């Protein structure tokens, strides 16, 4: 299952560089989908509502009235954003054992992403691997 979704993500995002593919969208890509697909719905139902928690609340409150395309996009986008943010917040804890064992470094070291991206997926615990994929860091490698 995981492998197919990785392949799917590769197909969708085209040219996932390196070993891993993103399973969540970048925040820029995610929110720009809302701004384009939901342009008319925002003008109708959420005019003047600021980007942030109030816009999300407005989407929730008007879900039934919104166009199917916007509704679908907003659901996908907010799910992706939430998942990526949770992964970026939690990866230090989720992966601490794997990081110490496989990379010999502590969290938030600039070399950490390089190390993790170079590991075989099965080397990490499934939850750590999934979380790492969800952060999006594997495809936005540290360049120096």
Question: Footprint of other proteins on this chain (CB under 8 A)?
Answer: 26-32, 34-35, 39, 42, 48-53, 56, 78, 81-82, 84-86, 88-89, 91-96, 99-100, 106-108, 110, 112-113, 135-137, 140-144
Query: Of the two residues 7 and 12, which places its CB atom closer to other proteins in the complex?
Result: 12
- Copy the structure tokens of residue 89: 């917040």
Q: How far is the CB of 131 from other proteins (least distance, A)?
A: 11
Q: How far is the CB of 141 from other proteins (least distance, A)?
A: 8
Q: How far is the CB of 3 from other proteins (least distance, A)?
A: 25
Query: Of the two residues 20 and 81, which places its CB atom closer to other proteins in the complex?
Result: 81
How far is CA 138 from each of CA 22, 26, 131, 132, 143, rounded to the nearest angstrom? 7, 12, 11, 7, 12
Query: Of the two residues 9 and 137, which places its CB atom closer to other proteins in the complex?
Result: 137
Q: How far is the CB of 15 from other proteins (least distance, A)?
A: 13
């Amino acid at each position: 299952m995981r492998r197919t979704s990785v392949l799917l993500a590769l197909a969708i995002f085209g040219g996932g560089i390196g070993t891993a593919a993103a399973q969540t969208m970048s925040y820029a890509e995610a929110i720009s989908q809302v701004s384009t697909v939901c342009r008319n719905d925002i003008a109708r139902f959420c005019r003047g509502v600021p980007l942030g928690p109030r816009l999300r609340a407005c989407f929730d409150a008007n879900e039934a009235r919104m166009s199917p395309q916007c509704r679908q996009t907003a659901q996908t986008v907010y799910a992706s954003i939430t998942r990526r943010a949770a992964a970026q917040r939690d990866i230090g804890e989720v992966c601490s054992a794997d990081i110490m064992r496989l990379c010999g470094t502590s969290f938030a070291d600039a070399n950490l992403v390089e190390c993790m991206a170079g590991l075989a997926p099965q080397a990490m615990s499934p939850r750590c691997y999934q979380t790492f994929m969800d952060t999006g860091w594997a495809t936005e490698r540290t360049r120096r």
